[in-house]
Amino acid sequence: MSQQSVLYDVPGPRQRRITLISSLVATVLLLVGAYFLIYQPLDDKGQFSLDLWGPLVDPSDENFSLVWERIGTGFKNTLMAAALAILSSLVVGTLLAMLRIQLKSLAQRRFTGLATPVSYLLRGLTWLLSAVTRICVEVFRGLPVVITIFFVARGFPEFGVTFDTLWYLVIGLTIYNSVVIAEILRSGMEGLPGGQSEAAAAIGLAPWQTTRMILLPQAFRIMLPALISQLVVVLKDTSLGFIISYEETLSIGKQIIGALDNPIQVYVVIAVLFIVVNYTLSKLAQYVQRRLSRGRKTAGTPAQNPPPAALMSQAEGGGMGGGV
Amino acid sequence: MSVLIDKFDVFAGGFWLTLQICVLAAIGALILGAIVAVLRISPVPPLRAVGTAYVNIFRNMPLTVVMFFAAFGLPALGSNADFLRIPGLDAIFNRLGTDLPYFRFALIALVLYTAAFVCEALRSGVNAVPPGQAEAARSLGLTFGQNLRYVVLPQSWKASIVPLGSVIIAMIKNSALVGFFGVVGDLSQTADQLTSAEGYAFVPVAIGISIGYLIMTVPLGALLDRIEKRQAVAR
* Structural domain count of chain B: 1
Q: Domain with A150 in it: what CATH number?
A: 1.10.3720.10
CA distance A148 to A157: 14
CA distance B217 to B221: 6
The predicted structure's pLDDT at residue A192? 85
Residues of A in contact with B206 (CB under 8 A): 151, 154-155
CA distance A70 to A272: 16
The answer to whether A239 contacts B65, with C-beta atoms less than 8 Å apart, is yes
The answer to whether B77 contacts A138, with C-beta atoms less than 8 Å apart, is no
By the CB < 8 Å criterion, does A188 face chain B?
no
**Confidence label for A305 from pLDDT (cuts 50, 70 and 90):** very low
What is the value of ipTM here, to two decimals?
Answer: 0.83
Is A282 within the bounds of a domain? yes
SS3 B173: helix
Out of A105-114, A309-318, B199-208, least confident range: A309-318
Mutation site for A-interface testing, chosen from B50, B61, B180 by largest number of A Cβ within 10 Å:
B61
Between helix A116-142 and helix A64-107 the angle, nearest 10°, is: 150
Residues of A in contact with B180 (CB under 8 A): 146, 243
Q: What's the average model confidence in pLDDT over A110-137? A: 83
Higher pLDDT, A242 or B88: A242
Distance from CA of B137 to the nearest CA of A (A): 9
By the CB < 8 Å criterion, does A232 face chain B?
yes
Mutation site for A-interface testing, chosen from B39, B83, B167, B173 by largest number of A Cβ within 10 Å:
B173
Please tell me which residue of chain A has the smallest CA distance to B54: A275
Distance from CA of A268 to the nearest CA of B (A): 8
Name the pTM for this structure.
0.83
The predicted structure's pLDDT at residue A103? 84
Task: Report chain B (235 residues): mean pLDDT per 10 consecutive residues.
Answer: 74 85 90 89 84 90 87 76 68 69 85 91 86 86 84 85 89 87 78 77 83 88 86 69
Q: Domain with B142 in it: what CATH number?
A: 1.10.3720.10
R_g of chain B, CA atoms, integer Å: 21
Asked if the model's pLDDT at residue A181 lies above 50, the reply is yes
A257, burial (CB in 10 Å: exposed 0-12, middle 13-18, buried 19+): middle
Q: What's the average model confidence in pLDDT over A295-314? A: 44
* Residues, chain A: 324
B230, burial (CB in 10 Å: exposed 0-12, middle 13-18, buried 19+): exposed
User: 3-state SS of A217-248?
Assistant: HHHHHHHHHHHHHHHHHHHHHHHHHHHHCCCC
Asked if the model's pLDDT at residue A251 lies above 50, the reply is yes
Domain carrying residue B57: 2-234
* Structural domain count of chain A: 1
The predicted structure's pLDDT at residue B81? 66
Q: Can you spell out the DSSP letters for A65-105?
A: HHHHHHHHHHHHHHHHHHHHHHHHHHHHHHHHHHHHHHHHH
Q: What's the average model confidence in pLDDT over A237-256? A: 83
Higher pLDDT, B142 or A43: B142
Residues of A in contact with B110 (CB under 8 A): none
Please write the tens of the pLDDT for every residue from A208-239: 888 888 888 888 888 888 888 888 888 888 88
Domain carrying residue A146: 57-295+306-323
